[in-house]
Amino acid sequence: MQTFELHIKNMVCPRCVKVVHTILEKEGLPVQEVQLGKAVLAAAPDATQLQSITAALAQEGLPLVDDKKQQLVEAIKNILITTIHHSPLFELRENFSTLLSTRLHKDYHYLSTLFSEIEQITIEQYIIQQKIERVKELLVYDELNLSEIAGQMGYSSVAHLSGQFKKVTGLTPSQFKQLKEQKRRPLDAI
């Protein structure tokens, strides 16, 4: 059976998956699977459906991605977001370069060069930004102390986490926690 894939930008959370699923179902399309960055349909939509889907997704801030290189960059982002925001990093048994190469079946040097070319930052910088956003989230929740957060996020020490946090945000984790207005960034804006 022939399937049809839609590649979608800015999908960063389970809520995005739900929104995409709902839009596709409203069009009466046979949805097989929706995951971060991609929806798989049992059959290709007709031109009218595709136009309607494109408009509905764009209205939700989830534009379709047609370019193969951009699709690969979105796949990199989705793997990193899922790994950093939805699983404890201390359980990660491989480094990010191996993880990306294995999952995408591409040489890491190629992935890194392509990512930098399209996003204007390195994969490593993107990983750090994502980790800091996750740390901000954990600080706001106030359920873990800084040592527990450092451990959960895969940092070698609280000092390493604090140094990286200050370098990215200009604040120490303690200063950030004391702010009245928490300065978190949406994941799709990173």
Helices 68-86/108-119 angle, 10° precision: 100
Per residue in 114-146, pLDDT tens?
999 999 999 999 999 999 999 999 998 888 899
Q: Please state the pTM of the whole predicted model.
A: 0.77
For 9-32, the pLDDT digits (tens) are: 988 888 999 999 999 999 999 999
Beta bridge partners of 38: 7, 35
Q: What is the pLDDT of residue 182?
A: 61
The encoded tokens of residue 88 equal: 């404890």
The string of pLDDT tens digits covering residues 55-103 is: 999 999 999 998 999 999 999 999 999 899 888 777 777 899 999 999 9
Predicted local confidence at residue 119, as pLDDT: 94
54-58-61-63 Cα dihedral, nearest 10 degrees: 50
Domains of the chain: 4-59 (3.30.70), 68-190 (1.10.10.60)
- The C-alpha atoms of residue 4 and residue 46 are separated, in whole angstroms, by 11
Provide the 8-state DSSP code for 64.
B
Residue 188 has pLDDT above 70, yes or no: no
Q: What is the pLDDT of residue 26?
A: 93
User: What pLDDT, on the 0 to 100 scale, is given for residue 13?
Assistant: 83
The number of angstroms, rounded, from the C-alpha of 51 to the middle of its chain's C-alpha atoms is 26
10: tokens are 């800015």
Tokens of 57: 């997704």
Q: Residue 64: which of 80, 84, 49, 83 has the closest Cα?
A: 49
Give the largest Cα separation in the chain, rounded. Answer: 56
**Contact criterion met (CB below 8 Å) for 9 and 74:** yes
Question: What's the rounded Cα separation, in Å, for the pair 173 and 136?
Answer: 8
Contact criterion met (CB below 8 Å) for 140 and 162 = no
